[in-house]
Amino acid sequence: EVQLQASGGGLVQAGGSLRVSCTASGFIFDDYAIGWFRQAPGKEREAISCIYSSDGSTYYSDSVKGRFTISSDTAKNTVYLQMNSLKPEDTAIYYCAADRKWVYCAGFQYGMDYWGNGTQVTVSS
């Protein structure tokens, strides 16, 4: 059974940093694209980052590029999203998701088969 568990959210001041984690189980980690999405109140879900661990391919949306870094630890089946220079507009519930069909993360924005729980990130001004 594929399972994804997100953790690490919290409250941080603008300009600060936070790292969220996504621990996966039930599938071969390297064969899947692992993505991070976020959804703020009243807004559509946004695909912000993805990693394809078998070759290291990564993707960042324009809204987080240069501030967020995605990485993976295949030994721990965990993907991390390091978030720096946080802004109040980064406030959202952050979700991780996985899908085998999005090789090199190409197309992951169109949806993922497996979703984890969300973790709340709140950035105060």
Per-residue model confidence (pLDDT) at position 114: 95
8, pLDDT greater than 90: yes
| Average pLDDT of span 64-87 | 96
| Average pLDDT of span 27-48 | 93
Per-residue model confidence (pLDDT) at position 122: 98
| Average pLDDT of span 77-99 | 97
Residue 8: φ, ψ to 5°: 105, 0
Per-residue model confidence (pLDDT) at position 27: 86
30, pLDDT greater than 90: no
Beta carbons within 10 angstroms of residue 81's beta carbon: 26
CB 21 within 8 A of CB 80: yes
Contacts of 14 (CB under 8 A, 6+ apart): 86, 87, 88, 123, 124, 125
Dihedral angle of Cα 55, 60, 65, 67, to the nearest 10 degrees: -70
28, pLDDT greater than 90: no
93, pLDDT greater than 90: yes
